[in-house]
Amino acid sequence: MKRMLFAVLLLAVVSARAEGFRFALMSDLHVTADSLAANDLRHAVDQINATPGLSFVIVSGDFTDYGDDASLRKAKAILDGLKLKYYVTSGNHETKWSESGATAFGRIFGSDRFRFEYGNYLFLGFNTGPVIRMAEGHVAPQDVSWLEKELADYGTERPVFLVTHYPMMKGDVDNWYAVTDAVRKYDIRAFIGGHYHTNRLADYDGIPAFICRSTLRGGEPFGGYSEFEVTADSVIVYERKIGAGPQRWGAYSLKDTYFTADTAGYVRPDFSINARYGRVKETWMTPIGNAIYSSPVLCDGRVYVGDDLGLLNCLDAADGRLLWRFAAKNRIIGTPAAADGTVVFGSADGNIYGIDAKKGKLRWKVETSEAVLGAVTIDGGVAYVGCSDRTFRAIDVRTGREVWTFTGTNGYVETRPLVYDGKVIFGAWDDHLYALDRSDGRLLWSWSDGRRGMHYSPAAVWPVATAGRIFIAAPDRVLSAIDASTGRTLWRTAESTVRETVGLSEDSSKVYSKTMRDSVVCFSTRGDRSEKLWASYVGFGYEIAPSMPQEKDGVVFGSTMNGEVYALDASDGSVLWRHKVDNSLISTVVPLDRNRCLFTSSAGIVGLLEAR
């Protein structure tokens, strides 16, 4: 009798968990060292702790405003005050702006994915990017594979909730369809997340979704959060303002069927441009299997590419065949450089590596105290690279010996340095551009446009220079010309809304930049004022990716955040061809001649395009 009674009680508890439970969701915390956001989060934690009947808490991204380690630790310290177990995944503010290369989040919170079961339900949360590069959200190939495996192991007959920061929709996540297609054959009850700081019901290719408010107070005295109730037949969401009772604002039935496995009728990326320019062929396409955020590097018939799992991949430039891989201990964000038989790259594992270019074996390693996200420039046997430990390094390529170091930056470095006129020039995420003496690393000058704040930093752009002038474009949508000797501003123009992209013509008479809407512009590098030489309507749409225009043999090559590569006539900007590889970020391409270019995609593809 005792055993039967225990079994009955246990069944009752399990049934109650399965058919009636509540949980809290917090999103878009935006904690910084000196803001009201931390207080808003504390109020939310206190109210959740004082609310009876909740089973757990989910936090769906944007823990911080600037993605910095200190703010992440501060947010965690507040969240650790919760009496309930909480589960987390990161947001774009942890991945786009991150001195650790979006690795501190996992180190501080344990992971940016989660999986747990509660009653009959499975909860899965995962990162939606983008990582470091400005672009739409992106679910990395390795995360899609993880999601597919977890769902396959769980089965098709049991209900699932999916948690993401970004809405899984066109215009938010570039490969939203890869996720919705992968999950729709399973019993997905709803997606849950935030990002828009508002309450909204949505559907992701027919799959129900809740988009929830921020913990921030906005224009009200206090902030708030969301509370979900799962009943036998419904999932209901309430807004919980601090100091107020629950206010229901949305629900979905757990009995109704909202979607099927059929994908017909849903919007998908448009590849029709490829038929229009049919002479462009994909000579070879090599799937790496992991997201790629660095550009390809060509040296002696080989292509070198760093990826999101920390692998340096070496491919044959003729056919894309993978020749070897070298494994660092964390992701590679910055573009490598190769010279003198050595490939040099930095990793978020806090090391700078020198690798034998033919054999893929370690030659030397320089340890730093933080992640290395900067692209590498090699000039005269010396590799130049910036790190997140606020140190810029010059390293002997042959031996790995540090030639000199500069410790004067107040932000991490992402860009590829420019070596010009005896100077090493680079920007950092501290709103400054720096010029160092190439021989000893002394600071010669630093430049700022006068506005403070990291979002004004010329940090993602790769500077170019000619005739004593340096050209940059920052997130402020302004093209700037700076005196290379003094750091004095020569001119600035905002007429074309360019963003974080510049490229120099082969004859150095022109500078190219990509605008945020459909076009590429060309300015003269001469004269005391800005002079636009041409503007070309390319038609690539809204655009924010920091991929640099590159000229080769009179053709300007460029790329976009939505998978397109284009070629323009350098003399007047007329469009020669366009080709859509996929729908994800294409980093700065490498032209081989006027008809061919190498590219990498955040979808994990390395390839060679040729206009025949």
Average pLDDT rounded to a whole number, residues 535-562: 98
pLDDT at 15 over 70: no
The CATH number assigned to the domain holding 597 equals: 2.40.128.630
In a domain, 342, yes or no: yes
pLDDT beyond 70 at 330: yes
Residues 366 and 480 in one domain: no
Average per-residue pLDDT for the chain: 95
Residues 40 and 150 placed together within one structural domain of the fold: yes
Same domain (yes/no): 214, 310: no
Check if the beta carbon of residue 504 is closer than 8 Å to that of residue 469: no
Q: Sort 125 into a burial class: Cβ within 10 Å, 0-12 / 13-18 / 19+.
A: buried
In a domain, residue 487? The reply is: yes
- Residue 9 reports pLDDT greater than 90: no
Per-residue pLDDT tens over the stretch 477-510: 999 999 999 999 999 999 999 999 999 999 999 9
Give the C-alpha separation, 113 to 163, whole Å. Answer: 9
Q: What is the pLDDT at residue 449?
A: 86
Q: Are residues 153 and 208 in the same domain?
A: yes
pLDDT, tens digit (0-9, with 9 covering 90-100), for 140-155: 999 999 999 999 999 9
Number of C-beta neighbours around residue 362 at 10 A: 13
How far lies 530's CA from each of 207, 310, 478, 480, 527, in Å? 50, 42, 11, 9, 7
Do both 540 and 482 map to the same domain? yes
Cis peptide before 130 (omega within 30 of 0): yes
Work out the average pLDDT over 362-390: 98
On the question of pLDDT at 369 being above 60, the answer is: yes
Please check whether residue 599 lies inside any domain of the structure. yes
pTM: 0.94
Please indicate, yes or no, whether residues 126 and 206 belong to a single structural domain of this protein.
Answer: yes
Return the half-sphere exposure (C-beta side, CA atoms, 13 A cut-off) of residue 93. 23
Question: Out of 15-24, 71-80, 225-234, 558-567, which region has the weakest mean confidence (pLDDT)?
Answer: 15-24
* Backbone phi and psi for residue 124, each to the nearest 5 degrees, phi listed first: -125, 130
What's the number of domains the chain is made of? 3
Q: What single-letter amino acid sits at 209? A: A
Same domain? For 153 and 47 the reply is: yes
> Is a pLDDT exceeding 50 seen at residue 297?
yes
Q: Judge whether 326 and 362 are in contact, CB under 8 Å.
A: yes
Domain presence at residue 439: no
Planar angle of CA 210, 213, 219, nearest 5 degrees: 155
User: For the purposes of burial, counting CB atoms within 10 Å of the CB of 278, is it exposed (0-12), middle (13-18) or buried (19 or more)?
Assistant: exposed
- Which pLDDT tens digit goes with each residue over 386-436? 999 999 999 999 999 999 999 999 999 999 999 999 999 999 999 999 999
Domain boundary among 253, 287, 322: 253
Residue type, 419: V
Q: Which structural domain range is residue 336 located in?
A: 298-414
Tell me the average pLDDT across 354-372: 98
Q: Is the model's pLDDT at 2 over the cut of 60?
A: no
371 and 502 co-located in one domain:
no
Domain boundary residue, one of 194, 222, 253: 253
Q: For residue 582, what are its two tokens?
A: 């996929």
Under DSSP, the state recorded for 348 is T
Instruction: Kindly report the CATH number assigned to the domain that includes residue 142.
Output: 3.60.21.10
Within-domain flag for 115: yes
pLDDT of residue 1: 39
Which pLDDT score, from 0 to 100, does residue 6 have?
40
Instruction: Say whether pLDDT at 276 is over 60.
Output: yes
> Are residue 367 and residue 479 in the same domain, yes or no?
no
12 pLDDT more than 50: no
- Kindly state whether residue 13 falls inside one of the protein's structural domains: no
User: Does 168 map to a domain?
Assistant: yes
Residue 70 falls inside a structural domain: yes
Could you say which of 399, 414, 429 is where a domain stops? 414
Mean pLDDT of 17-41: 89
* pLDDT of residue 7 exceeding 70: no
The confidence band for 19, taking pLDDT boundaries of 50, 70 and 90, is low
Q: Which residues contact 509 (CB under 8 A, 6 or more apart)?
A: 466, 524, 525, 526
User: Does 477 lie in the same domain as 401?
Assistant: no
